[in-house]
């Protein structure tokens, strides 16, 4: 197994590097080329990079485990994200795409500072990205480390491999190499998950002679309750879904993806293909969780108890039952999901540092120095995330989960800015900054009251979880911005 | 345009209906995979509206 995984991983890395290298021919000069590919990316590549960036290792590990433990509610959680994202991509997205090329936006913090006419907005937003997305990146690196660890390759080597792949694939040609390798990785992620799903149905279920009636019966009468019904608490469902509904507007790595399609047709293709990809991938991951729960409940009740206590080990355990080659391909698929998410985050946070922290503070920024700052910020972010992952700093995973809530205050100010882009009040930026600070203050309060692991899902006030209050409080301050004078 | 946005918001709100036990039990009673089907249909409706809005916006307004 170890040798097979290494062989498949080497093949994956070599292929990715060849693709990244070939994409160099498209790279022009300047930070606009490096960070957003000069707004010249085709529809298919745009869609695949959007999908591979959005869908991290959480899908094949976290979502499969979540479905295994708590049933069909996990599907609702993931599909409400997909549905709201497509709605945002269809309504607000085209405006962002159009304005990005008209106004020359590169980073998403630059979009906000430009729309609010204040560099302070850009600086604060960049800092929010830094604090929220470094743990998220570290969690992706930790995921690769855990995969290496589970096949006795050493946790640290996994983190180092991810570091090298991410740094290499970003620095070769910026967005061009990231987007093209994302497309390759996205195809691998989807292909490997489909292969595992087919295997689970053809081999796991039929080997145990589990038919449709038995399948339904086991899920309906599981030790966790009726897994075909809704068994989450409303607070958990609201707390986890609210930040994800606005993910497409708050996370810089996906906002930046809205800038890149080369024309209207490419943008349209991006949305259509992403919707298709997201739908198939989500259904497959949920199906895997359900099929494996039925199989385990039927064959091995002792293991069921162990897996329920540690749901992130559901997929690794499931893969021990497959053919080693399929397991190796699936493990590399999970590695790809982690790398494709992390490299986009690093590239996008680095673009914020260059455009909103360096180029706005320095009086006369030149292209050469900007390039040096880009490389330095990419490597610094990666080193920071790698150290956090290697030191196994407590709460990395929890911090990465609440990063979505940390970015939530950016949703109301983004929507308000897009609505009022033509005639923004000169003091609007003060409301925007207040909106961000209040939202973050509520999140910090929720963490202080409930701890990091329960900050999103425990009721904060009136039985409602913190994300609702973060959203409402942040929205309160943008009301003056949206009202017409 | 506004009509589509209102419908989209309604569809997203409908995702939360199964939080009420009465409704989730109703879906599952009607069909074992009723709740799954409900969310899948809502997603497809949202995707349809999203693409329709996009076509209109990208074709006319921009």
List pLDDT tens digits, range A252-280. Answer: 999 999 999 999 999 999 999 999 999 99
- Is residue B39 scored above 60 in pLDDT? yes
A141 in contact with chain B, both atoms CB, cutoff 8 A: no
Higher pLDDT: A48 or A3? It is A48
- Closest residue, chain A, to B45 (C-alpha): A83
Q: Evaluate whether A378 touches A347 at the Cβ level (below 8 Å).
A: yes
Mean pLDDT of A437-449: 93
The mean pLDDT value of chain A amounts to: 90
Q: Is A10 exposed, middle or buried (0-12, 13-18, 19+ CB in 10 A)?
A: exposed
Q: What is the pTM of this model?
A: 0.93
Task: Supply angle C-alpha B12, B15, B18, rounded to 5.
Answer: 155
Closest CA to A312 of A115, A60, A43, A70: A60
Q: Read off the pLDDT of residues A194-228 as tens digits, 9 standing for 90 and up.
A: 999 999 999 999 888 889 999 999 999 998 999 99
Task: Please indicate whether, in this complex, the C-beta atoms of B24 and A230 are within 8 angstroms of each other.
Answer: yes
pLDDT score recorded for residue A437: 95
User: Which DSSP letter does residue A38 get?
Assistant: G
Closest CA to A121 of A371, A341, A416: A416
Q: Read off the pLDDT of residues A304-341 as tens digits, 9 standing for 90 and up.
A: 888 998 888 899 899 989 999 999 999 999 999 999 99
Task: Please indicate whether, in this complex, the C-beta atoms of A87 and B50 are within 8 angstroms of each other.
Answer: yes
In this prediction, residue A463 has a pLDDT band, given cuts at 50, 70 and 90, of: confident
Q: State in Å, rounded, how far the first CA of chain A is from the last one.
A: 67
| Residues contacting B8, CB < 8 A, separation 6+ | A87, A91, B46, B49, B50, B53
Q: Evaluate whether A46 touches A179 at the Cβ level (below 8 Å).
A: yes
**Stretch 65-104 of chain A: residues touching chain B, C-beta under 8 Å:** 72-73, 75-76, 79-80, 82-84, 86-91, 93-95, 98
Return the structure tokens found at A201: 């149905």
pLDDT score recorded for residue A68: 94
Mean pLDDT of A348-364: 82
Query: How many residues in total does chain B contain?
Result: 62
pLDDT score recorded for residue A398: 66
Q: How far apart are CA B61 and CA A418, in angstroms?
A: 14
What ipTM describes this predicted complex?
A: 0.95
| Bridge partners of residue A459, in order along the sequence | A465
Q: How far apart are CA A372 and CA A369, in angstroms?
A: 5
Distance from CA of A411 to the nearest CA of B (A): 15
Q: How far apart are CA B47 and CA B44, in angstroms?
A: 5
- Is residue A296 scored above 70 in pLDDT? yes
A287 in contact with chain B, both atoms CB, cutoff 8 A: no
Gyration radius (Cα) of chain B, Å: 15
In this prediction, residue A454 has a pLDDT band, given cuts at 50, 70 and 90, of: confident
Superfamily of domain A2-398: Sodium/glucose cotransporter (1.20.1730.10)
Q: For residue A14, give the 3-state DSSP assignment.
A: helix
Helices (H) and strands (E) in chain B, counts: 3, 0
pLDDT score recorded for residue A32: 85
Q: Read off the pLDDT of residues A378-424 as tens digits, 9 standing for 90 and up.
A: 999 999 999 988 987 656 566 667 788 899 999 999 999 988 876 77
Mean pLDDT of A18-23: 95
Instruction: From chain A, pick out residues whose CB is under 8 angstroms from the CB of B52.
Output: 90
Distance from CA of A90 to the nearest CA of B (A): 4
In this prediction, residue A371 has a pLDDT band, given cuts at 50, 70 and 90, of: confident
pLDDT score recorded for residue A394: 57
Selecting from A73, A82, A232 the residue whose C-beta is nearest the C-beta of B43 gives A82
Give whole-number Cα distances, A314 to A64, A289, A310, B13, in Å. Answer: 7, 8, 8, 31
Q: How far apart are CA A111 and CA A413, in angstroms?
A: 11
Report how far Cα B11 is from the mean position of its chain's Cα atoms. Answer: 4
pLDDT score recorded for residue A57: 85
In this prediction, residue A363 has a pLDDT band, given cuts at 50, 70 and 90, of: low
Q: At what angle do helices A155-171 and A119-150 cross, to 10 degrees?
A: 130
Q: Read off the pLDDT of residues A55-106 as tens digits, 9 standing for 90 and up.
A: 988 888 889 999 999 999 999 999 999 999 999 999 999 999 999 999 999 9
| Residues contacting A411, CB < 8 A, separation 6+ | A246, A249, A250, A471, A474
One DSSP character per residue, A82-137 reads HHHHHHHHHHTHHHHHHHHHHHT--SHHHHHHHHHT-HHHHHHHHHHHHHHHHHHH
pLDDT score recorded for residue A166: 95
Q: How far apart are CA A50 and CA A57, in angstroms?
A: 15
- Is residue A482 scored above 90 in pLDDT? no
A249 in contact with chain B, both atoms CB, cutoff 8 A: no
pLDDT score recorded for residue A432: 92
């Amino acid at each position: 197994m170890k040798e097979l995984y290494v062989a498949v991983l080497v093949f994956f890395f070599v292929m990715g590097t060849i693709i990244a290298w070939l994409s160099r021919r498209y790279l022009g000069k300047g930070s606009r080329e490096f960070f957003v590919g000069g707004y010249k990316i085709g529809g298919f590549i745009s869609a695949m990079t959007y999908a591979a960036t959005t869908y991290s290792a959480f899908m094949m590990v976290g979502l499969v485990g979540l479905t295994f433990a708590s049933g069909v509610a996990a599907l609702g959680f993931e599909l409400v994200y997909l549905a709201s994202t497509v709605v945002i991509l269809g309504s607000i997205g085209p405006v962002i795409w159009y304005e990005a090329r008209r106004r020359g936006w590169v980073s998403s913090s630059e979009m906000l500072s430009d729309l609010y006419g204040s560099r302070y907005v850009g600086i604060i937003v960049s800092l929010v990205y830094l604090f929220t997305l470094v743990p998220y990146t570290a969690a992706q690196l930790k995921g690769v480390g855990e995969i290496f660890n589970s096949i006795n390759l050493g946790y640290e080597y996994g983190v180092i491999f991810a570091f090298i792949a991410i740094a290499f694939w970003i620095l070769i040609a910026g967005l061009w190499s990231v987007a093209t390798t994302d497309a390759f990785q996205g195809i691998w992620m989807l292909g490997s998950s489909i292969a595992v799903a087919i295997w689970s149905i053809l081999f796991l279920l039929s080997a145990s002679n589990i038919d449709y009636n038995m399948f339904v019966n086991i899920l309906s009468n599981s030790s966790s309750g009726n897994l075909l019904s809704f068994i989450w608490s409303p607070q958990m469902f609201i707390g986890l879904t609210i930040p994800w509904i606005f993910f497409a507007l708050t996370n810089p790595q996906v906002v930046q993806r809205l800038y890149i399609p080369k024309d209207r047709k490419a943008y349209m293709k991006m949305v259509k293909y992403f919707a298709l990809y997201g739908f198939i991938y989500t259904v497959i991951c949920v199906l895997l969780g359900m099929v494996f729960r039925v199989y385990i409940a039927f064959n091995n009740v002792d293991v069921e108890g162990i897996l329920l206590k540690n749901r992130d080990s559901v997929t690794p355990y499931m893969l021990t039952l497959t053919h080693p080659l399929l397991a190796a391909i699936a493990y590399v698929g999970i590695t790809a999901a982690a790398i494709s998410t992390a490299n986009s985050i690093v590239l996008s946070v680095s673009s914020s540092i260059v455009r909103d922290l360096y180029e706005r503070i320095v009086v006369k920024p030149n292209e050469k120095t900007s390039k040096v700052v880009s490389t330095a910020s990419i490597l610094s972010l990666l080193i920071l995330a790698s150290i956090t992952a290697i030191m196994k700093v407590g709460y990395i995973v929890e911090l990465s989960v609440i990063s979505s809530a940390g970015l939530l205050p950016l949703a109301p100010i983004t929507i308000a800015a897009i609505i009022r882009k033509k005639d923004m009040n000169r003091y609007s930026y003060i409301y925007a900054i207040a909106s961000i600070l209040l939202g973050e203050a509520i999140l910090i309060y929720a963490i202080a009251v409930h701890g990091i692991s329960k900050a999103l899902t425990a009721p904060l006030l009136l039985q409602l979880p913190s994300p609702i209050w973060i959203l409402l409080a942040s929205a309160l301050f943008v009301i003056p911005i949206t009202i017409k004078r | 345009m506004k009509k589509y946005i209102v419908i989209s918001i309604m569809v997203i709100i409908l995702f939360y209906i199964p939080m009420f036990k009465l409704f989730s039990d109703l879906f599952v009673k009607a069909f074992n995979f009723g709740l799954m089907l409900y969310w899948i249909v809502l997603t497809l409706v949202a995707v349809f509206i999203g693409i329709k809005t996009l076509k209109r916006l990208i074709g006319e307004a921009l």
